[in-house]
Structure 1
Amino acid sequence: MPYDIDAVRAQFPALRWGSAFFDGPGGTQTPLPVIEAITDALAQPLSNRGPVTPGERNAEALVSGAREALADLLGAHPSGIVLGRSATQLTYDFSRTLAETWSPGDEVVVTRLDHDSNIRPWVQAAARAGVTVRWADFDPATGELTADAVRGVLSERTRLVAVTAASNLIGTRPPVAEIASSAHEAGALLYVDGVHYAAHSLVDIDALGADFFVCSPYKFLGPHMGVLASRSDLLETLRPDKLLPATDAVPERFELGTLPYEFLAGARAAVDFLAGLGPGSAGGRRERLASSYAALNRHEDGVRRRIEDGLAALDGVTLHARAADRTPTQLLTLDGRSTVDACHHLARGGISAPSGSFYALEASRRLGLGDHGGLRVGLAPYTSADDADRLLGALADFLTQ
């Protein structure tokens, strides 16, 4: 059964504005079931979690429901799901906590391919702890970050390796499982930024070898919040700062303050929406997610090829997403033309495709694009072939002006 793009698009109120959205890597539009779940949560009795009043029980159910759904999405156990405000906030929190276990002379590894949220927290924590930072580089000609590049900067003093599962700038999917194996052989933990990856790939933290995996539901049709997946036994070994009356149970010991219950309802609904994109309704949620991601991948790959073939036929366009394994995300520059001007031209035609480096400063600089980056074209479950043709026509128009 083919991917029913028309049925999918009918679930997104934002599409009624007539815009074509290629800004999914920065945040997706929201489907009706997610909007309704958030509204319903706020319309019911709601208070701090507990077993007594309806409001307490509703809050408890929203938290447990979100943990179960996100665990299914990430191939994790609910007891290892930590909920937070954003992936950046969670990474900062865990960098400070993990740094308490480091000693001067220890080393951490970061990569030039990563979003700054998986670089700067570790660099700053290392500086405070007197720890050395080692950099793993990627090949700007191919966009590839190899396991050998990471192995080359590992040592017996490496305590942590931070790596992206997919570049938010050029889509590269590094061989995370192979990197994990090398990191673990060196005695290091692996912290994986999966914010861009989870929007396009079914996550299995065990198969990836991730000790910590962080992502953001608003990149896969949900609300603005962050999620970290780990093993509960590993979380038990970490002692974050917390308020004295707050629970010390895992995973709650890492969740500071009252959780955004309505957003947790939205996150669960987003996972259920994703699970319904596939051709079948049989099996548990994890099985349905696998079917959905397979269908979504086929659809997005087709639209991506349509766009990249069209871009390749335009004079003066350079494509920077070249890795063999990559998400449907393209970064392009235009000979002698400003990608900011191109972004504004597209916006006047109802097409959202932003220009910038998108917090992937190190990657943008390594590509020779400085801090300005390029025009990013990213796909989402609602992107259609007609959207692709609109984009290509508008870019061709811009280049002839």
Structure 2
Amino acid sequence: MSYDVDALRACFPSLGPTARFDGPGGSQVPAVVADAVRRTLTSSLANRGRVTAAERAADRIVADARRAMADLLAADPDGIVFGRSMTQLTYDFARTLAKTWQPGDEVVVTRLDHDANVRPWIQAADAVGAVVRWVGFDPGTGELTPDDVAAALSDRTRLVAVTGASNLIGTRPALADIAALVHERGALFFVDGVHLAAHHPVDVAAFGSDFFVCSPYKFFGPHCGVLAAHPGVLAELRPDKLLPASDAVPERFELGTLPYELLAGCTATVDFIAGIAPRGSDRRARIVSSLEAVVEHEDRLRVRMEAGLLGLPGVSVRSRAKLRTPTLLVTFADRDPVDAYRFLETLDVNAPAGSFYALETSRWLGLGDSGGLRVGLAPYSTELEVDRLLDGLGRFVRL
């Protein structure tokens, strides 16, 4: 099926005259997802169980959501853990994994990552006397290579945390190659897939990740977090939990009653993604074909946008990696990116400025904590919106 961006946009009640390049901070939500949340909130539900119809309905919602996220991530439904956010899940797993570390063990983090895949590991390591090893990246190209990671590994390495895609400059490291190096050392591989999952098909096994985390609100869904891991890996971990709470996997990692309405929204989100450009007989195949169409659409717009940006005087594009998402970080020779952000808003163009919690990345690029103007494409972005952005920035630099 051809990619019909106009038909896609018609599914989003919030899309109007504003040109939105703020998707990396959270996407807009289609009506079917909001309807699923509302329908669940107003339906007959109770705590999960098998006796009453309300209990069985809640149990069904959770099982459906695990299967949906497993299809999206090519994971095992029994290895899907839900949480309040990716940050909360990462903190929980950092504290749990740190129980298995000894003083002198090593944890590896990168300068390319969002702080949610950096600070939890640093703080967990500090709590038990483990050592933190840092991996940099090429600030000129934005590339973080397997060799960069290999230089930080040793026989004491216990965990390596790497982003699937930088939320600031879009760089996509070679996850499978990095995973092979990590596993050769007998360490675990934790991947922050929050930015990647919005723009590319995900296969946690192919990536070699032991843990993969993402946030549905980045790809049309509700605000919650999801972690995917092999059930056998989860079974070896002993998180803090209430005594009467289930010790089964994955429930032992889910604290308190799950938000059933948000999980119903997650299922609706995955079904929506599978319907963008579907090919194949099962949901996983339809997801892959749809996201492949998204990649093609977004990449075409990215090329158009980059060509226009590079033609503007005093404008630098900091996103240069060979493999990357359609997310560009723009800086100006003699202007504050915040001024560009505010100027574009007067033209009904949303492109925010900042470092967006990617503090280490911004600092490594020599931008301090300020970052730049982040321009992110989404599946519902159009050529007309790209042209509006370029026209607005052209006017800004000529002021």
Give the TM-score band, short-chain normalised: over 0.9
Structure 2 unaligned blocks of 5 or more? none
- Structure 1 vs Structure 2: percent identity of aligned residues? 62
Counterparts in 2 of 1:202-217, with a 5 A limit? 202-217=201-216
Task: Give the Å deviation of 1:313.
Answer: 1.0
| CA-to-aligned-CA distance 1:18-67 (integer Å, 9 cap, x gap) | 11110111100000110111111112101211112222111111101100
| CA-to-aligned-CA distance 1:256-307 (integer Å, 9 cap, x gap) | 0011110001111111111111153x41000001110111111001111111
Distance 1:296 1:175 in 2: 20
Distance 1:335 1:53 in 2: 65
Match 2:387 to one of 370, 386, 389: 389
Contact 2:81 2:254 in 1 (8 A): yes
Which residue is equivalent to 1:9?
9
- Residue type at the aligned position of 2:314: G
- Residue type at the aligned position of 1:46: L
Distance 2:340 2:285 in 1: 41
Which residue is equivalent to 1:226?
225
Which residue is equivalent to 1:107?
106
- Residue type at the aligned position of 2:143: E
- How many residues of Structure 1 are paired with residues of Structure 2 in the alignment? 399
Runs (4+) of structure 1 exceeding 6 A deviation are none
Which residue is equivalent to 1:291?
289
Q: Could you say what secondary structure the match of 1:51 adopts?
A: coil
Contact 1:109 1:133 in 2 (8 A): yes
Counterparts in 2 of 1:83-122, with a 5 A limit? 83-122=82-121
Distance 1:67 1:218 in 2: 16
Which residue is equivalent to 1:320?
318
Counterparts in 2 of 1:147-226, with a 5 A limit? 147-226=146-225
Q: Could you say what secondary structure the match of 2:388 adopts?
A: helix
Q: Could you say what secondary structure the match of 1:135 adopts?
A: strand
Task: Give the Å deviation of 1:197.
Answer: 0.5
Q: Could you say what secondary structure the match of 2:307 adopts?
A: helix
- Residue type at the aligned position of 2:184: E
Q: Could you say what secondary structure the match of 1:218 adopts?
A: helix
Taking only aligned residues, the RMSD between alpha carbons, in angstroms, comes to 0.8
- Residue type at the aligned position of 1:267: C
- Residue type at the aligned position of 1:172: T
Q: Could you say what secondary structure the match of 1:304 adopts?
A: helix
What is the TM-score normalised by the length of structure 1? 0.98
Task: Give the Å deviation of 1:351.
Answer: 1.1
Q: Could you say what secondary structure the match of 2:228 adopts?
A: strand
- Residue type at the aligned position of 1:196: H
Distance 1:56 1:309 in 2: 55
Which residue is equivalent to 1:350?
348
Q: Could you say what secondary structure the match of 2:15 adopts?
A: helix
Contact 1:279 1:295 in 2 (8 A): no
Structure 1 unaligned blocks of 5 or more? none
Distance 1:58 1:355 in 2: 43
Distance 2:276 2:297 in 1: 11
Contact 1:354 1:375 in 2 (8 A): yes
Task: Give the Å deviation of 1:98.
Answer: 0.1
Q: Could you say what secondary structure the match of 2:374 adopts?
A: strand
Which residue is equivalent to 1:241?
240
Contact 2:216 2:225 in 1 (8 A): yes
Distance 1:99 1:68 in 2: 29
Which residue is equivalent to 1:336?
334
